[in-house]
Amino acid sequence: MSSSGPRPGTVERAFEAALYADTDAALDTGASLLAADPAADPELTRRGEEFVAAAWRRGWQPADVVRVVRRELDPVHVQLTAALILGESHEPRGARWTVQLEELKAEPRPPRADRFSYATAVLELYRLLLRLPAIEPLEVPWQGPAAAGTGDSRMLTRIRALLAKAEATGFPEEAEALSAKAQELMARHSIDEALLAARTHAKDAPGACRIGVEPPYETAKAVLLDAVAGANRCRAVWNEAFCFSTVVGFEPDLEAVELLYTSLLVQATAAMTKAEAAQRAGGRKRTKTFRQSFLAAYAHRIGDRLASAAEGQVTAAEGDLLPVLAARDVAVADHADRMFPRTVTTRLRGVDDAAGWHEGAAAADRAQVQDRRRLP
């Protein structure tokens, strides 16, 4: 008499029915099994946390996973993802990871729904998590005492506050003054950190972070981010499929790139909306081509301005700073080449609206970007 093995549990049978097939019928079968067995809920959650942990091993971080879920699925799936990540993440993985977890705590809890709807949403989410491919892992940059101190935190808080006011004000002169001060603080922070590391022979190495580059008009946004990264002695590599760019650089410069890119994107969007309203008032209706050309021109002109500012910074540098900056440039380039040994160049397409290009270039000229202060 032959004996069979133990019968698979409810979760395993639901996974076998739903996770490896893309049909709605398979999804309904799996959801029905889970809905009929409330006792399977703890195991279902545990398996979801395992999927999340597997994503970490494949190079993903919390913000990356949430970004993909938000783009591919619905708000309830984002809320389920946040709950899984917060339930799984017990080991500290660096300051950026901690910040991402703190941001997830603001996500609302998943709404109470009937068991079948809940099980369906969970299986849809697990299908996505299961299929996440391996991506380049991010190395956490070493942070010395200065980076971990309260002075650094106060500096970044002040920079964020200045940029937030610059984006909110309706007065160009006030925005210019606020943004100029923020840029001055960014430059001072970055240079001070570089000189301190050199003089104390601190273990200082570049790291990387990911910044979302979301559609629409993502190519122009990626070009803008690349320009901001280059001006701040960083390298940016765009992953079009997953809507993010990986920025490689030293920690103070990564902070500057994140803050400045976000601020310029806000300024560009506000200026584009205003220019588009004026165009519509004149009887124009081609919104998409206008916006594409506007953002492309904005990115192009901002790139020129930031490149000029960066060149002025190097020209103004004296004494021990020049070899320090040169060594950091080499370290960033080597780190980026190791992470991305094969890259291709992407070209902007569909930029054929003269009015959009003109307005975007004008908006870039008005954007609050100033050269870094000359060192004493």
Task: Please check whether residue 186 is in contact with residue 262, taking contact to mean a CB–CB distance below 8 angstroms.
Answer: no
With both helix axes pointing from N to C terminus, report the angle between 62-72 and 115-130 in degrees, rounded to the nearest 10. Answer: 120
What local confidence, expressed as pLDDT, does residue 24 receive? 93
Interacting residues of 373 by C-beta distance below 8 A, sequence separation 6+: 184, 187, 188
- Mean pLDDT in residue range 204-216: 91
Residue 19: phi and psi, rounded to 5, are: -75, -25
What local confidence, expressed as pLDDT, does residue 140 receive? 61
pTM: 0.79
- Residue 312 — very low, low, confident or very high, per pLDDT cuts 50/70/90? low
Residue 368 clears pLDDT 80, i.e. is over it: no
Interacting residues of 189 by C-beta distance below 8 A, sequence separation 6+: 152, 155, 156, 159, 252, 255, 256
Lowest mean pLDDT among 85-99, 264-278, 305-319, 360-374: 360-374
- Mean pLDDT in residue range 277-294: 75
User: What is the pLDDT of the chain when averaged over all its residues?
Assistant: 81
Q: Which amino acid is at 244?
A: F
pLDDT one-digit tens code per residue, 164-198: 887 887 665 566 567 667 766 776 677 677 777 77
- Residue 147 — very low, low, confident or very high, per pLDDT cuts 50/70/90? very low
| Bond prior to 137 in cis (omega within 30° of 0) | no
Lowest mean pLDDT among 30-44, 94-108, 204-218, 264-278: 264-278
Position with higher pLDDT, 272 vs 172: 272
Position with higher pLDDT, 149 vs 370: 370
Position with higher pLDDT, 16 vs 255: 16
